[in-house]
Structure 1
Amino acid sequence: MAHSLRHRARVRVHLGTAEVLGRIRLLDREELKAGEETYLQLELEGLVAASRGDRFVVRSYSPMHTVGGGVVIGTDTPRYRRFRPEIMHRLATSEHGTPAELVSQYLAGLKEPATRADIAGAVGLTEPVAQGTLDELTTLGRVVAMEGYYMDAGRFAALVEEMTARLAAYQAEYPLREGMPREELRSRVGNAWPAKAFNAMLEEAARRRLVAVTARSASLPGFEPGAEMRETVERALGLVERGGFLPPGWADVTRELNLGTEESSELLQFLLRTGRLVQIADDCYWHQKTLARAREMVREYLKDKGEITVGNLRDLLNTSRRFALPLLEYFDRERLTRRVGDVRVPGRAMS
């Protein structure tokens, strides 16, 4: 430096044809004296185009005279903490490191996956060189390659550990759900990530059998919804099945099993989602086997008689109008029957 420069001094930075005001952040001292060199950060007050390797000149704010110059070794960097030897070592690597050292250091400082283009631009490598370096680091196990993205192996392992802890907690709280919704998991683990980057990481974790994923959710490997509540599930199904063509209301099932409101809702949604119960109408749920028997009986009746009424179905199933009417309306929606006036005739599903 031609003149001394104190920490936080306001300066004029000349880069290419641009001049922009900013402040100097000295990272290892309070004052940079004439003739000394060091790594520093420039906090600019405006935008300027800069790339690794670009040269710049620093002039004092007022009166204006040339203070010194330097070379850009990184852009869009975090605000470094001062008087940290590891920071100075990192900056030295940025200036003199091999491509592998540059890429490793860059990825280790990121919380999220990065594309090859992002990595190449950040460390000042061409994309072919960056790709070769990434392939080398992946082979060495220091980088995890995903679908279009790359991540530091240590960061990936820590992220998977965090994910599995959150999935375990979610499954303990909601044992009847198929898993944690992918978007909810992203909001907890990779909130600021693009969905594509998070999904690439999640799919890589699944490929390694560290988690299990579906199109909508994620869970721990081997997780089986309902396994911890199998007895409760079977008791609920038994109550509905024993009701036959006069199934109990869900409130009656809940009361019999002594379930709380949230637990009751979770159980009902699980049984509906897995197809073990079928909703015929509001607060009218049939066991799948009972419904299958009723469907086959109606099918045979229509083949024989050609039409069926609510009264006919009531007598056929030995049920009540309260259940016969919504059941026929359900069969209308399923195209098993078709309403014509007060009777039902065979629908498309009969052909």
Structure 2
Amino acid sequence: MTVRYYTIGMAGHIDHGKTTLTKALSGVDTDTLKEEKERKITIEPGFAPFPLTDEINTSIVDVPGHEKFIRQMIAGVAGIDLVLLVIAADEGVMPQTREHFEILSYLGIETGVIVVTKSDLIDEEMRLLVEEDIGELTRSTAFATFPVHFVDSITMSGIDDLKNEIGQLLQGAQTRSSQGAFRMPIDHIFTVKGQGTVVRGTVYEGEVRAGDDLIIEPGNDKVKIRKLQVHKQDVNSAKAGQRAALNLSGGSRTAWKRGHVLLSPHVFSTTDMIDIVLSTGNGWDGKIKQRAPVKFYTGTSEVMGKLVFFDRNELENNSHQIFCQVRLDEEIVTKRGDKYIIRRPSPEETIGGGEVIDPNGSIYKFGTNTIELLKGKYEGTPQERVLHTLEKEGSLTEIDLKKLTGFEEQDFNEAIDQLLELNSIHQIQGYYFAALTLERVQSEWIDRLKQFHEENPLRQGIPKAEAVQYLKGKLHPKVVNGLIDQWIETSIISVTDQFVHLSDFKPDFPQKWSKKMSQVLERLEEMKLEPDDLLSLFKSQQLPEELYNDYKYHLIKTNQAVVLFDEVLLSKSAFDTAVEQLRSKTNGSFTVQEAKAALDTSRKFLIPFLECMDTNGYTIRDSNVRKWV
């Protein structure tokens, strides 16, 4: 039998009986703080175990109803699977009822029950008025389909029917995924004497076990799980949908606060620039101007930031599907698809909420192109999202690609498999990149080589180290080396003596100066063993001096000349002729004097020539004698 875990959120106006209803359902009083007892109000979210059946195990989150504790309310309902919207029969819909209702709507809660408490205090006529009040509140929303239950938590009237209703609703509800990486936003941190630091929260996704190594973000604080509890019971593991308390070792406890997140390492990233789709209600007055300060809530975090629009300079209430961006003052952890709430800091009121499109947004230009880009990100399939991310980032490991796309394991793997099969993406050395990126980089690189060859026709090509450095700006170094190998295999490029060039390219005199450069070489050959310096010969043909070094290098590289000394070169044909002439006129060894007599040339040229023969392996010098090899 597989046990399924869910979290039920209790929301509504202050004094409407949420805590009493929680106790009636679960038997647990969630107001545990001294101040809560004294003031008879809920200040911090309270949690109670509420096992429905052997297969369905739930927890109830009782959130504060007072307007001063909206932040705690949002933290409490983050991560719930079903909501009980509580309305007192003797008061009906109140201001915090409406605000909680709006917040729940923005968070995308689509399963729940509207519970009318204190129903023993009203008559049938009042009951009809409450029902009308509820109908007006929920009209044209997902809440309009929620069942309505009238209960009394003191006499327990209607409580059993409510329990059955909750069980029926959860029977077909989808559970959170326990597969893949672990994530738990922290809503409470405390110290247990003799045990150390404990963090508590609702497990959003994944599973954790005692002994696991995790991190707390922001801060990349490394911790180890010493012990786990679910509703004060020791357990070996905690799964998505469960309330869990984790005893931690390691890390810097003083830096942690509500809003930090306990995570599997190397999977999630922190961010302060988030692309979002925003919807607003009519529960606030005035307009929100471009880059106005806002409070951004997601998970259990509350961070100040600025709201950035790309198609308007101010936001009016009751706007739907605004594609925009929030730029935060501090980094947080979030992923694609996470729900959020935005509130105005002064006057404090809820503006709206929606869904995270891209947790790693960029700086965009104002205009319709950006709106279309964000809309495409929002509506795109997993395959399109993977492609977009790779086209934006260049090349990514599987871990980083998962971080940036934010898909569940199964969706991610299916998208990758399909894209690989369609050759829309490629993988080299553990890095993924888009086929379009490959085409663009390859085209840019070929154009760069063509331009280099046109401007430097005498050079073999671009040094390979320089080529790798250039391509590193486009892709990861491991991908670059793999691509170069592929391009060599497919004869797109070649590498000669660590110089990268187009496969069909051969260094040669530039057409414009070809005749004059040939004449320099011819003159060099005519001068045999006693040539003028090459630069003088080059200038005598009125050739551009900036081409000289390339010309000199080309003659040497293509074995048309050898260096005697400084700028003096000997044509290869003159060198070969002199070598054969000397060999024919000497025995196994010879002196400088014998070489001079055989070649009939001055010592100025003879000594460099003999040293050149040594360098090229024709002879070996032994004191004053040279021996033929």
TM-score range, shorter chain: 0.7 to 0.9
Q: How does 1:195-274 map to 2 (within 5 A)?
A: 195-205=477-487, 207-214=489-496, 216-226=498-508, 228-229=510-511, 231-232=515-516, 234-274=518-558
3-state SS of 1:73 partner: strand
- Asked if residue 79 in structure 1 is aligned to residue 366 in structure 2, the reply is no
Number of residue-to-residue matches in the alignment: 342
Superposed, which structure 2 residues align to 1:41-60 within 5 Å?
Answer: 41-60=325-344
Q: Does residue 1:101 correspond to 2:374, yes or no? A: no
- Displacement of 1:22 in angstroms is 0.8
The superposition leaves residues 202-224 of structure 1 with CA deviations (integer Å, 9 ceiling, x where unpaired) of: 55555555555557444444222
Q: 1: distance between equivalents of 2:447 and 2:616?
A: 43
Residue deviations 1:193-250 (CA, integer Å, cap 9, x gap): 5544445555555555555555744444422210645655544433323322223321
The Cα shift of 1:180 comes to: 3.6
* Bigger share in strand: 2
Distance, in Å, in 2 between the alignment partners of 1:212 and 1:127 is 40
Say what the alpha-carbon RMSD is for the aligned residues: 3.7
Partner SS, residue 244 of structure 1: coil
Is residue 319 from structure 1 mapped to residue 601 from structure 2 by the alignment? yes
Q: Give structure 2 stretches of 5+ with no counterpart.
A: 1-279
Pick the structure with greater CA Rg: 2
Q: Give the Å deviation of 1:41.
A: 0.8
3-state SS, counterpart of residue 58 of structure 1: strand
Letter in 1 for 2:526: R
| In 1: Cα distance, 2:397 partner to 2:515 partner | 48
Higher helix share: 1
SS in structure 1 opposite 2:596?
A: helix
- 2:389·2:401 contact (CA, 8 Å) conserved in 1? yes
The Cα shift of 1:113 comes to: 3.9
| 2:425 and 2:435 in contact (8 A); partners too | yes
Q: Is residue 319 of structure 2 the alignment partner of residue 38 of structure 1?
A: no
Aligned to 1:136: 418
Residues 464 and 498, structure 2, Cα contact 8 Å, conserved in 1: yes
Taking structure 1 as reference, are residues 332 and 162 closer, same or farther at Cα in structure 2, changes over 3 Å only?
Answer: closer
**Alignment partner, residue 296 of structure 2:** 13
Question: Structure 2: how far apart are the matches of 1:142 and 1:165?
Answer: 23
Residues 284 and 26 (structure 1), Cα distance of their counterparts in 2 relative to 1, 3 Å cut: closer
Distance of 2:424 and 2:517 partners within structure 1: 46
> SS in structure 2 opposite 1:326?
helix
Which among 170, 175, 191 is matched to residue 452 of structure 2?
170
CA distance in 1 between partners of 2:413 and 2:357 (Å): 20
Give the whole-Å Cα distance in 1 for the aligned partners of 2:508 and 2:315: 66
Q: Which moved more, 1:23-32 or 1:328-337?
A: 328-337
CA contact (8 A) 2:426 2:435 kept: yes
1:344 matched to 2:625: yes
SS in 1 for 2:307: strand
SS in 1 for 2:331: coil
Q: Secondary structure at the match of 2:354?
A: strand
Task: Rate the CA distance shift 1:228–1:149 in 2: closer, same or farther, 3 A.
Answer: farther
Give 1:120's match in structure 2, choosing from 402, 407, 420: 402
Q: Structure 1 pair 300/118, CA: closer, same or farther in 2 (3 Å)? A: farther
Identical counterparts, % of pairs: 24
Distance 1:279 1:202, change over 3 A: same
- Kept in 1, the 8 Å contact 2:428–2:478? The answer is no
Q: Can you list the C-alpha shifts for 1:53-98, whole angstroms capped at 9, x where unaligned?
A: 33433332234444444332312222233452x5445434434533
